Amino acid sequence: MKDVVDCFDEAFCSRSSVVAIDEPGGEDRSYPNRVVARLVQQDFDSYRRIADFINAYPCDVLNIQHEYGLFGGTEGEWVVDLIAGVRKPVVTSLHTVLPDPSPEHLRVARALCATSTAVVVLSETGRELLIERYGVDSEKIHVIHHGVPDVQFRETAPLKRALGLDARMTISTFGLINRGKGLEYAIDAMAAVVASHPEALYLVLGQTHPVIRRHEGESYRDELKAKIAENGLADNVKLVDKYLDFDELLGYLGATDIYLTPYLNPTQVVSGTLAYAIGLGKAVVSTPYLYAQELLAHGRGFLTPFRDASAIATTLVALLDDPALRESTERRAYRFGRRMTWPNVAQAYGTLFGDLQPLSRRTALATSA
């Protein structure tokens, strides 16, 4: 979110402000000056106070970056009361749209959309779901893609040298690790890949999700380590157990020949990691969850069945065997990814905000976790 806000302010010479969300235990967190108010997640009265604050604050539009779990009440319904109390346009950006919502979730989501002036989704799939499953007015819905870095298309060789990976054909997955990532199938696939490409290296980049770590420790990572040892892949699969800062992440992704998302949830409608891979022009192999089907259409990547290590291996080998196929896929992905860069996303928000307010008074106030 910060990157989009920064690009928005640069493009429109504005000074956006942020309302932060304090979850239990976050009350002592310090924020930069951009944060002008704090919503107390589990305090119902705080939602009314924030609505009053926004009404008095010198801003023209409230943009809520919405994710379930950020807001209090059943299915986060307290934020609906906040929106209802705001006397300015409210643009709600939905990061999650469930294909099969429970009745209670459906009720709250419909109320959220009904009280918002406009609704933003991050994919065409999300838009279709809101119209067909949730019954939201199509005129209210706007598709603005997940933001990605605005970087030049680069060859992998110099970036590999910087990481000491000169002779390796590099496959990677990044993001917080949990059992829904399907990494065990990717590791099984590597056992077949190295038979014809012993130089192949699979990097699993990222720490275990903190919620998972609290409940089960590192049991899933330990299972992955055991599978690596069982398949004799110590030289071909590396678990990079660390938080990657932005430059490190771009370095690893830039050095990647093939990006792999073997995720197990077929109804996933957004993936920031997949968006980044497309934005950097990577050849992608993925299971066919909803967002992957959309982003990898028209030759921008390759889909394999869920939980099918053999199909993953076959597709990886085909790309490793054929540099021309890999490069043409990368170029198509990169061209599509241009519309997802942070400056373009900021411009899309600016156009939407401008439709709601006079351009001369375009100032945004956003909520953030």
Arithmetic mean of pLDDT over the chain: 93
Share of the chain above pLDDT 70, in %: 96
Which domains, ranges and CATH numbers included, belong to the chain? 2-147+341-368 (3.40.50.2000), 157-340 (3.40.50.2000)
Q: How confident is the model at residue 50 (pLDDT cuts 50, 70, 90)?
A: very high
Q: How far is CA 361 from CA 62, 95, 103, 318, 323, in A?
A: 13, 27, 40, 54, 51
Banded pLDDT at 368 (limits 50, 70, 90): low
23-47 pLDDT per residue, tens: 887 777 888 899 999 999 999 999 9
Which helix (DSSP H) or strand (DSSP E) does residue 356 occupy?
helix 342-356
**The predicted structure's pLDDT at residue 364:** 61
The pLDDT value recorded for residue 1 is 73
The residue type of 295 is L
The band of 358, judged by pLDDT with boundaries at 50, 70 and 90, is low
Q: In the predicted model, is pLDDT for residue 359 greater than 50? A: no
Nearest C-alpha neighbor of 333 from the set 342, 322, 325, 345: 325
Coil vs helix vs strand at 169: strand
Name residues whose C-beta falls within 8 Å of residue 207's C-beta, 6 or more positions apart in sequence: 176, 177, 213, 241, 242, 243
Please determine, for residue 14, whether its predicted confidence score (pLDDT) is greater than 60. Answer: yes
* Residue-wise pLDDT tens digits, 94-115: 999 999 999 999 999 999 999 9
- Residue 4 confidence (pLDDT): 87
Per-residue model confidence as pLDDT tens digits over 119-154: 999 999 999 999 999 999 999 999 999 999 999 998
Q: Which residues pair with 37 in a beta bridge?
A: 19
Mean pLDDT of 220-232: 96
pTM of this structure? 0.89
- In degrees rounded to 5, what are phi and psi of residue 200? -70, 140
Strands (E), 199-333: 200-205, 237-240, 258-261, 283-286, 302-303
Give the mean model confidence (pLDDT) for residues 81-101: 95
Arithmetic mean of pLDDT, 215-234: 95
